[in-house]
Structure 1
Amino acid sequence: MKTISRRALALAAIPALSLVIGLVLYFAGLADAAGWAWTAGIVPVLAYLLWTIVTSLAKGDIGLDIIAALAMGGAIVGGEPLAGVVVAMMYAGGGALEDFAQGRAQAEMTALLARVPRAAMVYRAGELVSEPIEKLAPGDRILIRPGDVVPADGAIAGGPAVLDESALTGESLPVTRADGAQALSGVTNSGAAFDLIVTKSAADSTYAQITRLVESARRSKAPMARLADRYALGFLAATLAIAGAAWVLSGEPLRALAVLVVATPCPLILAVPVAIVAGMSRCAGRGIMIKTARTLEMLPRVKTLLVDKTGTVTEGHPGIERVEPAGGRDEGELIRIAGSLAQASQHVISEALVEAAHRRAIALVPPQDAAEQPGEGVFGTVEGHVVKIGRHAFTAGRHGSDGDVAPLPPGVTALSVSIDGAPAGRILFADRLRDEAPATLAAMRERGIDRIVLLTGDRADVAEGIGARLGVEKVIADASPEDKVAAAMAEKKLAPTMMIGDGINDAPVLAYADVGVALGARGAVAASEAADMIVMVDRLDRVAEALAIAGRARRIALQSVFAGIGLSVLGMIAAALGYLPPVAGALAQEAIDLAVILNALRALRGGR
């Protein structure tokens, strides 16, 4: 996390130091030297402030900084350096605090780029050599080893290949691609090694296009205006009117200076970032990292939710949906025998079976003579019995398709089991809905979300079933990263939009959405880098909690804005009537600062 910049820290330290030095000189009887010390503390802050004002005016922006500049300049001209240095110190301190709040810089796409392989094993003159992926050209034959990320789009040679495509499509289950089928860059080899005939260079491949989409989206996202500045023009006009009237009616320019000192918008400049940072800190305590103050301010304004399916509203990995034992066996025995053999495989279904057995406290035994046939299944000996798990045709001891088996529901995968050549049953797996997903979406609707769109790269039949169970307004399936970005752009034209996702394929749309939320506990790091907010624990309901915290922090910030304006107006009237000289006005302003900052700090605590 980025801390306060050196410039902001220096601007805050200079007037604070000069105030202390001046007070020491003053009480030592050196009033003139004290005045010069205080003036020296005002000048650098005023110079920087004037430069900021000129830059803002050139862009057509009018902010509350003008009042602070008038107060500091008026204090120097009017011979009230003590009042001026107090204003400078509080203004610069507010700027440093705001710099801290706004400066929680968004991470660059280093993780996304780091996942891209730097080299590939290429066949050259009958030998395998390692070459940078930049040198890959269409027609090159490369070796994809187990666990390798495919570096470029290409055609599988010597397949079949078992690929984990979840990073691109959102499909949680590995898929088997036949010889000659296309493999996209960015997917992971989950099975045995295979060769790939490159069809696109690395720079033109799918993964590189996703990276460019994210970078383009980052550049397109404009920063949000500072909340306090939304009330700047009206407050500025009122301040100048009261100060001018006080001068004209009383004939005393010090009354106008006192009005400006009391009107200095330190409460607004301080209280808003305090409330926002307090909200960000509370979110952090709940395992939610909000990268910028802009994000927390935008969260309560979101009306449309785009949400990914796999790993977001679903668990993101296969679990046992149903057990169908045969041959007189019960469910526990079938899981025990199949799970014992599954220990010899790294396939995601095998790992899910072993995990399910452990959760059910089923004791597994070590398999003997186990071997895996990629894309088909695993065979071996368990307690003296020959066991096969995998596709139905494989366990039945024949080659070909599983066409004689009854079709499965959308999103369900079957693991057939045979023992000593006889069918023993099958175990059905599916990516199940998160337990907290329905309640979370309902809670988000209560907090202002009007429209929910399920946006996924998974098949339409699977997505429609999940969407119906969640009661979403729209389902967009078979979506590529480009399709997801297009959907986000269309929704953004209608209302502020939030996207929740966890895969590499979600990174571009997370960047394009008004608020991108990554489930970073087990999701792709690239999604976390592209997002504005990261849920660090594996809990979807923390997103709804962040909405509640952000809404409360924004309400407290607005309370501080209006309270600060109201108290400042009362102080300006008192100063205009001669009841508050400049130094007393500065002290009164500090009391207002303290009141609104204490109010802003309420955002650190939990509310109703």
Structure 2
Amino acid sequence: MSTTGSPWGLFLRSRDGLTTLGTFVAIISYLLLWLVFGLEGWASDWPLVMVVVLGGLPLMFEVLRNAVRTRGGADTLAAVSIITAVLLGEWLVAAIIVLMLSGGEALEEAASKRASGTLDALAKRSPTQAHRLRGESISEGLDEIPVSEIQVGDLVEVFPHELCPVDGEVVSGHGSMDESYLTGEPYVVSKSQGSAVISGSVNSESPMTIRATSAAEDSRYAHIVGVLKQAEDNRPAMRRLADRLGAWYTVIALALGAIGWVISGDPTRFLAVVVVATPCPLLIGVPVAIIGAISLAARRGIIIRDPGMLENTSKVRTIMFDKTGTLTYGRPVITDIAIAPGFNADETLALAASVEEYSRHPLAEAIRAGARKRALELPTVTEVSERPGQGLSAKADGHRVLISNRRMAYELDPDSRELMPDTEEGLEAVVLVDGKYAARIQLRDTPRAAAQSFIAHLPKRHNVDKLMIISGDRESEVRYLGEQVGINQVYAGVSPEGKLDIVAEHNKLGLTMFLGDGINDAPAMATANIGVAMGADSGVTSEAADAVILDSSLEKLDELLHIGARMRRIALQSAVGGMTLSIIGMLLAVFGLLTPLAGAIAQEVIDVLAVLNAGRVAMVKGPLSDFEVEDPQD
């Protein structure tokens, strides 16, 4: 059986892993020579000397080089311990320290690669081949080509059960696609002509022809893989904090070692102290906890781009939301239909919906949905045309129907000025029938079902004391949303630069988090202490974010907050708990109650306990979130 992807295989593929294995073999060989064959001195010590020289010296030099670069660190104690043990002829102790240090480093590397299994799976699962049509239909033939050769505008056939190779739009065919691997939710999404499809989703039973809207390297799937790779390369802020704590810890350990040497006159007391003080719980336990949190988040559809943000999520006191797509669905619904004299509401809506069947405008689906809700029968449409800035027109049920804006209505039917209110609230579509103003359809982007409950949940469970909406929309719309979800502090009509300034000002008062989903949110997101992108539809937004929630939902945001709090709690448990046990061991060594050999064994046990505890971060069986949507009427 291959060990390539197993923890053991990952362990052995690293230099530190091979050093650990060689050191273990050397210690066993020494014990056999000493206990079984009765050899002593150099006759039994030579395996230990070899492994300390060949494996320990490179490891020690690397530790010292890192210590100089970071102005000292806790792993400096390991180098001091090895040097002291060699000077005192304690080769077995030196070998055990090499085993401990190399094993810890190898364990961290193996844990990192193991935890990044989501990234490996995404990379290996990336679509590599595509079927490009030679003409406008599959009857003209197709060529199997590498995905990298697909250009924007190419027609591509996606066969049943095949991965969609690029982002695109369905031009023929009807079926569904499984996007669960990308969103983290077990949803199969229906697709038909005009539907958007994303690379990496799995087609169902029916073939579909799509037109590529992006090249493979610019597709959402490739972007997700790139974001995950960047997450692995970031050095967590909490690790840097561990380095700083380790510098003080090193001073304390060396001072205790010196005290033990002075009061006893025996240099082995110093060795015993520094051996048991080697702080692998701090140097390895914390990164393992962070890596586990990254893996846990990825499995739940949350990509951590900057692992350092995990330390701060539980300390955020100000959360700022963009409006559209974060607190709202980004899908408008009809709120009112103002009918002109002489027209019927249902008949006019049916005419408008029939024409909107041929539109890709964001308001078109809302109008169609309004007609479906009323169970209206739609007339047949002919002579459809759409001119830039003039709206959509067609012939329906013998009438010329135009769906446009109030400017066009004023131009075509001056009397409409008296029939429409001056104020514009929400979004609107103006319907003209045979050149006469017929109706004004008012629409609004509705709040998410969970928005009000979630806003109430944040102060109660996450100690957030300031919530605000920062949006470029009109003030009436932003205030309306604020009233619906329970946020009083709102900023409307704000430019991207203005959002940045507001965030920067609040950064001075404490840790901030900004949530957005559009390119105009990127500056504010990059300026906030923590930036979270909802939905990852924009590559620019994702690049600016510290975390990306693939499935745009507030429930996932709550999971992110809990993952950060869990990581910080368990990481501190491993670091502080391990260091506390080490300090107890150091005190015992100062008074001669712990020998260098016993100290090395005790520290190895402490290391294992700390790393095992840190590994708990990724082991979650039940739900992470404690957020439940409440009925507003309760």
Equivalent in 242, 246, 266 of residue 256 of structure 2? 242
- Quote how far apart the aligned CAs of 1:356 are: 5.0
One-letter amino acid matched to 2:84: G
Give the direction of change, closer, same or farther, for the CA distance of 1:593–1:329 in structure 2 (3 Å limit).
farther
Q: Quick check: 2:413–2:435 contact (8 Å CA) kept in 1?
A: no
User: 1:38 matched to which residue of 2?
Assistant: 51
CA distance in 2, matches of 1:259, 1:542: 47
CA distance in 1, matches of 2:602, 2:379: 78
CA distance in 1, matches of 2:114, 2:489: 36
Q: Secondary structure at the match of 1:63?
A: coil
2:30 maps to 1:26: yes
Q: Quick check: 1:312–1:519 contact (8 Å CA) kept in 2?
A: yes
User: 1:125 matched to which residue of 2?
Assistant: none
- Quote how far apart the aligned CAs of 1:325 are: 5.5
CA distance in 1, matches of 2:423, 2:114: 50
Q: Secondary structure at the match of 2:599?
A: helix
User: 2:281 matched to which residue of 1?
Assistant: 267
User: 1:206 matched to which residue of 2?
Assistant: none
- Give TM-score scaled by structure 2 length: 0.68
Stretches of structure 2 that go unaligned for 5 or more consecutive residues are 1-6, 34-42, 118-234, 627-634
2:82 maps to 1:72: yes
CA distance in 2, matches of 1:548, 1:278: 14
One-letter amino acid matched to 1:520: G
User: 2:383 matched to which residue of 1?
Assistant: 369
Q: Quick check: 1:319–1:432 contact (8 Å CA) kept in 2?
A: yes
Over the matched positions of the two proteins, sequence identity in percent amounts to 34
CA distance in 2, matches of 1:399, 1:373: 19
- Quote how far apart the aligned CAs of 1:338 are: 1.6
One-letter amino acid matched to 1:18: G
CA distance in 1, matches of 2:70, 2:327: 44
Matches within 5 A, 1:500-579: 500-521=515-536, 523-579=537-593
RMSD (CA atoms): 3.5
1:42-68 superposed Cα distances (whole Å, 9 cap, x missing partner): 1111101111111222xxxx4323322
CA distance in 1, matches of 2:373, 2:287: 47
- Quote how far apart the aligned CAs of 1:587 are: 2.1
CA distance in 2, matches of 1:427, 1:384: 22
**Moved beyond 4 Å, runs of 4+:** 8-11, 97-104, 221-225, 324-334, 355-366, 392-397, 399-402, 408-411, 418-424
Give the direction of change, closer, same or farther, for the CA distance of 1:344–1:42 in structure 2 (3 Å limit).
same
- Quote how far apart the aligned CAs of 1:537 are: 0.2
- Quote how far apart the aligned CAs of 1:527 are: 0.3
- Quote how far apart the aligned CAs of 1:533 are: 0.4
User: 2:597 matched to which residue of 1?
Assistant: 583
Q: Quick check: 2:115–2:295 contact (8 Å CA) kept in 1?
A: no
Q: Quick check: 1:510–1:530 contact (8 Å CA) kept in 2?
A: yes
2:17 maps to 1:13: yes
Q: Secondary structure at the match of 1:407?
A: coil
- Quote how far apart the aligned CAs of 1:251 are: 2.7
Q: Quick check: 1:72–1:88 contact (8 Å CA) kept in 2?
A: no
2:267 maps to 1:253: yes
CA distance in 2, matches of 1:359, 1:44: 73
CA distance in 2, matches of 1:362, 1:601: 58
Give the direction of change, closer, same or farther, for the CA distance of 1:440–1:497 in structure 2 (3 Å limit).
same
Q: How many residues align?
A: 484
CA distance in 2, matches of 1:595, 1:388: 72
User: 1:83 matched to which residue of 2?
Assistant: 96
Q: Quick check: 1:481–1:509 contact (8 Å CA) kept in 2?
A: yes
User: 2:396 matched to which residue of 1?
Assistant: 382
User: 2:510 matched to which residue of 1?
Assistant: 495
1:368-413 superposed Cα distances (whole Å, 9 cap, x missing partner): 1122243333332224444333335756982569532333765423
User: 1:115 matched to which residue of 2?
Assistant: none
1:445-483 superposed Cα distances (whole Å, 9 cap, x missing partner): 230222123222223333233334444353222222222
One-letter amino acid matched to 1:74: T
CA distance in 1, matches of 2:296, 2:112: 19
1:556-605 superposed Cα distances (whole Å, 9 cap, x missing partner): 21122221122112222233333433233222212212222232233222
1:297-330 superposed Cα distances (whole Å, 9 cap, x missing partner): 1211211112211222222243222344677987
One-letter amino acid matched to 2:494: A
537-546 or 487-496, which moves further after superposition?
A: 537-546
One-letter amino acid matched to 1:22: A
One-letter amino acid matched to 2:19: P
- Quote how far apart the aligned CAs of 1:230 are: 4.7
2:493 maps to 1:478: yes
Give the direction of change, closer, same or farther, for the CA distance of 1:87–1:9 in structure 2 (3 Å limit).
same
Q: Quick check: 1:246–1:256 contact (8 Å CA) kept in 2?
A: yes
CA distance in 2, matches of 1:322, 1:12: 69
1:534-555 superposed Cα distances (whole Å, 9 cap, x missing partner): 0100212322221122112211
Give the direction of change, closer, same or farther, for the CA distance of 1:64–1:314 in structure 2 (3 Å limit).
same
Q: Quick check: 2:535–2:548 contact (8 Å CA) kept in 1?
A: yes
One-letter amino acid matched to 2:274: L
Q: Quick check: 1:97–1:274 contact (8 Å CA) kept in 2?
A: no
- Give TM-score scaled by structure 1 length: 0.71
CA distance in 1, matches of 2:251, 2:406: 79
- Quote how far apart the aligned CAs of 1:519 are: 0.7
Equivalent in 450, 453, 478 of residue 463 of structure 1? 478
User: 2:230 matched to which residue of 1?
Assistant: none
2:334 maps to 1:320: yes
Matches within 5 A, 1:62-211: 62-78=72-88, 79-80=90-91, 81-93=94-106, 96=109
CA distance in 2, matches of 1:252, 1:585: 16
One-letter amino acid matched to 1:466: L
Q: Quick check: 2:302–2:560 contact (8 Å CA) kept in 1?
A: yes
CA distance in 1, matches of 2:350, 2:490: 39
- Quote how far apart the aligned CAs of 1:532 are: 0.4
Q: Quick check: 2:413–2:436 contact (8 Å CA) kept in 1?
A: no
CA distance in 2, matches of 1:275, 1:359: 50
CA distance in 1, matches of 2:414, 2:237: 58
Q: Secondary structure at the match of 1:404?
A: helix
1:489-528 superposed Cα distances (whole Å, 9 cap, x missing partner): 211111111111111111122112111111134x322101
Stretches of structure 1 that go unaligned for 5 or more consecutive residues are 105-220
Q: Quick check: 1:321–1:428 contact (8 Å CA) kept in 2?
A: yes
Higher relative contact order (CA 8 A, sep 6+): 1
Equivalent in 438, 444, 464 of residue 449 of structure 1? 464
Give the direction of change, closer, same or farther, for the CA distance of 1:63–1:408 in structure 2 (3 Å limit).
farther
One-letter amino acid matched to 2:599: G
User: 1:107 matched to which residue of 2?
Assistant: none
- Quote how far apart the aligned CAs of 1:414 are: 2.6
